[in-house]
Structure 1
Amino acid sequence: MKLLLLGATGRVGCEIARLAAQDGHQVNVLVRTPEKLPSDIKVRQVFRGDATVKEDIEQAIEGCDAVVSALGTDGGTVLTDAVPLLITAMQERSIKRLLTMGTAGILNSRTDPGLLRYQSSESKRKLTRAAREHHEAYLAIKESYLDWTIICPTYLPDGPPTGNYRTEKDYLPLEGMQISTGDTAEFAYKQLSSEEFLCSRVGIAY
Structure 2
Amino acid sequence: MHFLLLGATGRVGTRVLERALADNHKVTALVRNPQKVNQRSEQLTLLQGDACHPGDIRHSLESVDVVISCLNTDGGTVLTESIPLLIEAMKEQGVRRIVTIGTAGILQSQEHPGLLRYETPDTRRSSTRAAEEHRKAWELLQASGLSWTVVCPTYLPDGEALGTYRVAREFLPEDGKSISVGDTADFTYSVACSQEYVGCRAGLAY
**1:176 pairs with 2:176:** yes
Give me the whole-angstrom Cα distance separating, in 2, the residues matched to 1:166 and 1:94: 32
8 A Cα contact 1:17 1:41, kept in partner: no
8 A Cα contact 1:30 1:60, kept in partner: yes
* Alignment correspondent of 2:6: 6
State the TM-score, normalized to the length of structure 1.
Answer: 0.97
- 2:11 is paired with a residue whose SS is coil
What stretches of structure 1 of length at least 5 have no aligned partner? none
> Letter of the aligned partner of 1:98 in structure 2?
I
Q: 1:42: how far off?
A: 6.1
Q: Deviations over 1:18-75 (max 9, x none)?
A: 1001101100000001111124566521000000000011111111011000000000
* Alignment correspondent of 2:30: 30
Give me the whole-angstrom Cα distance separating, in 2, the residues matched to 1:115 and 1:43: 43
8 A Cα contact 1:6 1:29, kept in partner: yes
8 A Cα contact 2:107 2:170, kept in partner: yes
Give me the whole-angstrom Cα distance separating, in 2, the residues matched to 1:96 and 1:63: 12
Q: Deviations over 1:139-162 (max 9, x none)?
A: 000001110000000110000000
Alignment CA distance shift 1:129-1:43 (3 Å): farther
8 A Cα contact 2:30 2:51, kept in partner: yes
Equivalence map 1:1-206=2 (5 Å): 1-39=1-39, 43-206=43-206
Give me the whole-angstrom Cα distance separating, in 1, the residues matched to 2:122 and 2:111: 7
> Letter of the aligned partner of 1:140 in structure 2?
L
Q: 1:89: how far off?
A: 0.5
Among all aligned residue pairs of Structure 1 and Structure 2, give the percentage whose two residues are the same amino acid: 49
Give me the whole-angstrom Cα distance separating, in 1, the residues matched to 2:41 and 2:156: 22
State the TM-score, normalized to the length of structure 2.
Answer: 0.97
The RMSD of aligned alpha carbons is 1.1
Q: 1:112: how far off?
A: 1.0
Give me the whole-angstrom Cα distance separating, in 2, the residues matched to 1:161 and 1:171: 22
Alignment CA distance shift 1:54-1:87 (3 Å): same
Give me the whole-angstrom Cα distance separating, in 1, the residues matched to 2:48 and 2:74: 18
8 A Cα contact 2:24 2:43, kept in partner: no
- 1:12 is paired with a residue whose SS is helix
Aligned pair count reads 206
> Letter of the aligned partner of 1:31 in structure 2?
V
Give me the whole-angstrom Cα distance separating, in 2, the residues matched to 1:130 and 1:167: 22
What stretches of structure 2 of length at least 5 have no aligned partner? none
